């Protein structure tokens, strides 16, 4: 571990003047944090935020609407027709046929196991009473996916062909993935009218980037030799693209399609807040609004969405891997297409004939599902009643010892009524001296990363995110950006923070950063050990995988009911909801990283007589560190995305402003707050990825 850090540190050799300047800056920062009353000049912000930018955005939107609405409405009318046409087809098709067709498709693509999984999943949708609503959702996805495919593919090819275009495309993709959807839903409704279309478009915006990234990656990794061979044999650029580059990139592009479809589904669900289409996401949302006594309904409908995601994911993934196998000899004998079509036609005819009976069965079985929902509700109520005291104790502990100190600092959080004693000046001095001494010792040992980590955690806990002097934050973030992502990005990061300040969102941003930091800390403490366990034991891994799948594809709203029912409306509930969603990548990447440690290294360690614990700590974890950091990067992005939903159970800050912007159709407010969130995400992403890369790259493929 230390080897990697020192090599990094020596590469960062600063001349003495720079060192002195840095030391002075750090000292000033410490002074501003420790004695804010004595040094008001160091704490006050010279920059006052204003809503002038938000107002300008609103003005711009109004102008844009006035000019382009007729044209956009024509586009919207076409899309609306497409969604409704698809909806009619799906509604008219008997559910029995869809169940059989999906099962058959799964069997053809992969085999009996996948067929059983997909068949059961679709059967659940039909029998649980949410069939029509699921089909409505599917018809929105069905229109959003080809759109996102076209846009994503086009952008990907453009980016691969032109360096200049790529320079514009990359940051655009970042924004498309990090600006919360709620920020642009309201203007989409204004521009494209009411109904399913804004949801479809929001879904396209969110789902296109993973496709573009994969197309880019695929095209860029075409071996140079192949290109040369093709140009030597005199192909036109078009021929080369079609016959050389695309086939080479196909595998990566198929990965992109898989991610695109899943992203599209998840965004269609989120967009249900605007309504306009009676889809399954709306069902979950309305059920969530009815409180814990209706948790069963929200859960049953939520499971439908999970199953929908699982079926789509497994089928597209199977299709992708099957193509790969086409070249090789497959054992299964091909069935002539004509026979297949004839078989499908017979099944269709049979299911139309049996439609009445099938529908009766579906209605009857839905009654049992309703009973199940009632049972779940009763169970949740009982659980709350019996474990109320324990739950309250957990909440109080987390609020007192973790959340409050991070938000308002130990100086304000440690009181006789909370911690049972006063944080006297003497204690504060001891605390600060310990932190500073520790930092100095680590710095002297040359462990700059550890030293700066200790210093920042120590100081943030001392004064809290809310009372962080603005310039200390600025300087700290810029330094991190410069160190891990280069000076160009440091300038960009500075400009982003300036923009957050100027639009009046600085305090909100501090709050959002605080809540996310707390959530990420908890994710690290729980997620890494779980990942390690999963890497060491196939049983644990097998238990965790479906749980992870579920947590990732269930509509985010579902997390809110148990969080509030167990812990009431407060920051801790928000934290629980965020952690549940954001912990998954950390578990997955930790497991992945540890499982891919080169076996030779493990052997060598074993030969040298390392105990399993020594091997884990000295060999495996350090080697897996880049993978774990990439997982952490995903966790950070997921946590920021979940903030928007966590507002519904007590989170404040930027995400709250985005929600208000959506409700009041105040696009300026929504967009400035949404962009601020995107900026935070982009900075965090670049810094963490830069750090992971500097530790040595390992290929991570999900």
Among 5, 34, 36, 193, binds other proteins (CB under 8 A): 193
Any long-range contacts for 283-286 (C-beta under 8 Å, 24+ apart)? Answer: 283/130, 283/133, 284/555, 284/557, 284/558, 285/555, 285/557
Considering the rule CB under 8 A, would residue 93 count as an interface residue with other proteins?
no
Q: What is the DSSP letter of 90?
A: H
Smallest CA-to-CA distance from 294 within 365, 378, 387 is with: 378
Among 278, 365, 431, 443, binds other proteins (CB under 8 A): 278
**Of the ranges 249-257, 467-475, 558-566, 614-622, which one interacts with other proteins (CB under 8 A)?**
558-566
- Report the half-sphere exposure of 512 (CA within 13 A, side-chain side): 32
Considering the rule CB under 8 A, would residue 267 count as an interface residue with other proteins?
no
Considering the rule CB under 8 A, would residue 417 count as an interface residue with other proteins?
yes
Alpha-carbon span 606 to 609, nearest angstrom? 5
Tell me the per-residue interface mask from 653 to 672 with other proteins, x by CB under 8 A, - otherwise.
---x--xx-xxxxx------
Alpha-carbon span 627 to 623, nearest angstrom? 9
Considering the rule CB under 8 A, would residue 443 count as an interface residue with other proteins?
no
Comparison of 25 and 132: residue with beta carbon closer to other proteins? 132
Comparison of 408 and 526: residue with beta carbon closer to other proteins? 408
Considering the rule CB under 8 A, would residue 290 count as an interface residue with other proteins?
yes
Comparison of 370 and 596: residue with beta carbon closer to other proteins? 370
Cβ neighbourhood burial of 241 (10 Å; 0-12, 13-18, 19+): middle
Residues of span 373-402 touching other proteins by CB under 8 A: 374, 381, 384-385, 388-389, 392, 395-396, 399-400
Considering the rule CB under 8 A, would residue 294 count as an interface residue with other proteins?
yes
Give the rounded distance of the alpha carbon of 593 from its chain centre. Answer: 19
Contact 185, 671 (CB under 8 A): no
b vs e for 630-639, b when ≥16 Cβ sit within 10 Å of the residue's Cβ?
bbbbbbbbbb
Considering the rule CB under 8 A, would residue 138 count as an interface residue with other proteins?
no
**φ, ψ at 611 (rounded to 5°):** -75, 160
Among 282, 317, 447, 686, binds other proteins (CB under 8 A): 282
Alpha-carbon span 474 to 485, nearest angstrom? 16
**Of the ranges 147-155, 292-300, 332-340, 449-457, which one interacts with other proteins (CB under 8 A)?**
292-300
Among 484, 505, 615, 652, binds other proteins (CB under 8 A): 652
SS (H, E, C) 203-256: HHHHHHHHHHHHHHHHHHCCCHHHHHHHHHCCCCHHHHHHHHHHHHHHHHHHHH
CB of 411 to other proteins, least distance (A): 16
Among 25, 105, 174, 275, binds other proteins (CB under 8 A): 275
Q: How many residues touch other proteins (CB under 8 A)?
A: 62
Tell me the CA distances in angstroms from 349 to 96, 354, 356, one per residue in order: 11, 9, 13
Among 569, 602, 610, 618, binds other proteins (CB under 8 A): 569
For tokens 């897996």, the residue is 624
CB of 518 to other proteins, least distance (A): 14
Considering the rule CB under 8 A, would residue 293 count as an interface residue with other proteins?
yes
Considering the rule CB under 8 A, would residue 649 count as an interface residue with other proteins?
yes
Considering the rule CB under 8 A, would residue 204 count as an interface residue with other proteins?
no
Contact 58, 668 (CB under 8 A): yes
Binding site for other proteins (CB under 8 A): 185-186, 189-190, 193-195, 273-278, 282, 285-286, 288-294, 370, 374, 381, 384-385, 388-389, 392, 395-396, 399-400, 404, 415, 417-418, 560-561, 564-566, 568-571, 647-652, 656, 659-660, 662-666
């Amino acid at each position: 571990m230390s080897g990697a850090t020192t090599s990094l540190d020596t590469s960062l050799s600063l001349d003495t003047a720079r060192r002195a300047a840095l030391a002075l800056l750090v000292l000033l920062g410490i002074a501003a944090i420790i004695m804010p009353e004595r040094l008001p000049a160091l704490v006050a912000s010279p920059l006052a935020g204003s809503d002038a930018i938000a107002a300008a955005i609103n003005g711009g939107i109004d102008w844009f609407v006035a000019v382009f609405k007729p044209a956009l409405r024509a586009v919207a009318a076409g899309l609306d027709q497409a969604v409704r046409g698809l909806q009619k087809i799906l509604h008219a098709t008997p559910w029995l046929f869809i169940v059989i067709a999906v099962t058959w498709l799964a069997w053809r693509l992969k085999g009996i196991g996948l067929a059983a999984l997909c068949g059961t999943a679709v059967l659940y949708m039909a029998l649980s009473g949410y069939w029509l609503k699921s089909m409505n959702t599917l018809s929105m996805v069905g229109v959003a996916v080809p759109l996102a495919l076209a846009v994503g593919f086009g952008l990907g090819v453009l980016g691969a062909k032109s360096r200049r275009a790529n320079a514009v495309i990359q940051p655009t993709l970042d924004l498309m993935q990090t600006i919360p959807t709620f920020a642009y839903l309201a203007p989409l409704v204004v521009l494209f009218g009411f109904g399913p279309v804004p949801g479809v478009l929001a879904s396209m915006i969110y789902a296109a980037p993973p496709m573009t990234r994969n197309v880019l990656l695929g095209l860029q990794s075409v071996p140079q030799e192949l290109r040369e061979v093709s140009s030597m044999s005199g192909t036109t650029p078009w021929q080369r693209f079609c016959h050389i580059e695309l086939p080479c990139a196909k595998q990566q592009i198929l990965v992109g399609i898989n991610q695109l479809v899943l992203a599209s589904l998840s965004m269609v669900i989120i967009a249900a807040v605007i309504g306009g289409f009676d889809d399954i996401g709306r069902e979950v949302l309305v059920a969530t609004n009815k409180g814990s006594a209706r948790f069963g309904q929200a859960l049953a409908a939520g499971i439908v969405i999970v199953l929908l995601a699982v079926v789509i994911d497994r089928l597209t993934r199977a299709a992708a891997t099957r193509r790969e196998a086409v070249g090789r000899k497959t054992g299964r004998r091909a069935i002539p297409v004509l026979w297949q079509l004839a078989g499908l036609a017979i099944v269709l005819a049979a299911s139309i004939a049996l439609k009445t009976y099938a529908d009766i069965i579906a209605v009857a079985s839905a009654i049992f599902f309703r009973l199940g929902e009632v049972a779940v509700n009763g169970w949740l109520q009982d659980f709350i009643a019996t474990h109320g005291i324990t739950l309250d104790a957990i909440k109080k502990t987390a609020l007192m010892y973790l959340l409050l100190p991070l938000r308002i600092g130990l100086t304000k959080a440690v009181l006789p009524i909370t911690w049972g004693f006063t944080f006297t000046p003497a204690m504060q001095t001891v605390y600060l001296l310990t932190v500073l001494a520790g930092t100095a010792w680590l710095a002297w040992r040359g462990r700059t990363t550890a030293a700066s980590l200790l210093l920042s955690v120590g100081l943030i806990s001392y004064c809290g995110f809310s009372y962080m002097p603005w310039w200390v934050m600025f300087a700290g973030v810029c330094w991190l950006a410069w160190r891990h992502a280069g000076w160009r990005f440091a300038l960009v990061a500075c400009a982003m923070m300036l923009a957050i300040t100027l639009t009046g969102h600085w305090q909100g941003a501090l709050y959002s950063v605080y809540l996310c930091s707390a959530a990420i800390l908890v994710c690290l403490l729980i997620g890494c050990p779980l990942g390690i366990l999963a890497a060491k034991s196939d049983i644990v891994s097998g238990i965790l995988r479906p749980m992870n799948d579920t947590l990732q594809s269930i509509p985010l709203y579902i997390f809110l009911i148990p969080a509030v029912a167990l812990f009431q409306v407060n920051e801790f509930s928000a934290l629980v909801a965020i952690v549940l969603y954001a912990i998954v990548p950390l578990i997955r990447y930790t497991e992945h990283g540890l499982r891919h440690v080169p076996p030779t290294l493990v052997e060598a360690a074993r030969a040298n007589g390392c105990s399993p614990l020594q091997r884990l700590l000295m060999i495996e974890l350090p080697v897996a560190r880049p993978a774990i950091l990439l997982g952490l990067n995903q966790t950070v992005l997921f946590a920021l995305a979940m903030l928007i939903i966590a507002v519904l159970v007590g989170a404040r800050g930027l995400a709250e402003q985005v929600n208000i912007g959506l409700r009041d159709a105040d696009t300026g407010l929504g967009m400035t707050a949404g962009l601020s969130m995107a900026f935070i995400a982009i900075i965090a992403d670049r810094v963490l990825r830069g750090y992971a890369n500097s530790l040595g790259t390992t290929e991570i493929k999900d």
